[in-house]
Amino acid sequence: MRNEDEAADAVQEACLRALRFIGGFRGQHVVNLFIFPTEHANDTLPAKQVRAGYNIIDWTDSGMVYWAVSSLSAAELEKFAPLVREVSSAASIPNR
């Protein structure tokens, strides 16, 4: 079981990994991450698509919809999604 401090540490570490990922591109690409609540949606694995030349990965987790949009290659953007999923998982650890 994790306590509140351990959960906060897990979120912080996961966020830092995601930021280091983005920082590795030295500002050449922007990753826009949209997160919004949804009702009546099951959790889904990341799915990729391309619109207007931008790569998009979207998924649903714990009642929230996530869209990562970027000019990064699809392969690079696919590396970003698990980092965000890790943050959301760490953030949803219940206090016990």
The ranges assigned to domains in the chain are: 4-91
How far apart (Å, rounded) are the C-alpha atoms in residues 67 and 38? 13
User: Tokens 């540490």 — which residue?
Assistant: 9
Rounded mean pLDDT, 50-61? 93
Q: Is the pTM of this model over 0.85?
A: no
42 with 53: CB under 8 angstroms?
Answer: no
63 token code pair: 């009642």
The pLDDT value recorded for residue 48 is: 95
The pLDDT value recorded for residue 83 is: 81
If one compares 12 and 57, the residue with the highest pLDDT of the two is 57
How do residues 72-95 score in pLDDT, each as one tens digit? 889 888 888 888 887 776 666 444
Strand 54-61 to 44-51 pairing:
antiparallel
How do residues 34-44 score in pLDDT, each as one tens digit? 888 888 878 88
17 token code pair: 């990994």
CATH of domain 4-91: 3.30.200
